[in-house]
Amino acid sequence: MLQRPKLREAHESPRITSDLGDLRFRSLLSHDDWAALPQGTRRRFSKRVADGKTVVYAGEVVETEMNFAGWVFAQIARLAGGPLPLYRDAHVPAVVSVTEDMKNGGQIWTRVYTRRSGFPQVIHSSKRFAGKTGLEEHVGHGVGMALRVERNGAALVFRSANYFFRAGSLRLVLPDWLTPGALTVTHAEEGDARFSFRLEIVHPVFGPIIRQFATFHEVMS
């Protein structure tokens, strides 16, 4: 059985080097799992975005599906910054930008999803290399989730371990009934320098409530 890689301690400085790039995602997988990922994926998640640099990916939302329960949870999540898809628009432009979170030592991800009518949906989140799983995503107003990172075939997968609320030194893990369910994000190569982003949320009672599939390519780094 592969040994789980040692996570970076909270007091350690982020592992970003000028010669090797950003090693923080790499440290969340075993050596064999990281080596088995496609070169494009390894390069993308080793890209150094410190010192004010920004990486921009452009593409399209191919499809978004949600049932009534998914729509309700997406509306409730607006209280925490609106991190879930709100609309079912398909084949609309999307842009993702990534830059360093200089305050917290993580990365700021900004996603812009165009709509066929009205203003686009903009989602901000901060990925922080912290906690028991080694990675957390904070979406605003103290709400976040711990993520487990793993390899599934040639894809890089992020799975929710728990959702939490944080206020100062207070941190509370949210009960399942207060969450939308188990979240899985799959990052996979699609050829022609493109990659896909697949989001799925499965509620323990209502089943799959939200699914989204989008493709992107790098336009600036």
Q: Is 22 exposed, middle or buried (0-12, 13-18, 19+ CB in 10 A)?
A: buried
How would you write the pLDDT of the chain (221 residues) with one tens digit per residue?
Answer: 444 444 444 444 445 554 568 999 999 999 999 999 999 999 999 998 887 889 999 999 999 999 999 999 999 999 999 999 999 999 999 999 999 998 888 999 999 999 999 999 999 999 999 999 999 999 989 999 999 999 999 999 999 999 999 998 899 999 998 999 999 999 999 999 999 999 999 999 999 999 999 999 999 76
pLDDT at residue 104 in the model: 84
> Could you give the CA distance from residue 99 to residue 164 in angstroms, rounded to a whole number?
24
Is pTM beyond 0.95? Reply is no
Nearest-10 Cα torsion for 130, 141, 59, 214: 80
55 half-sphere exposure, CB direction, 13 A CA radius: 18
pLDDT at residue 20 in the model: 61
Residues 94/61, Cβ–Cβ less than 8 Å: yes
Domains defined for the chain, CATH in brackets: 16-220 (2.40.128.20)
Residues 198/206, Cβ–Cβ less than 8 Å: no
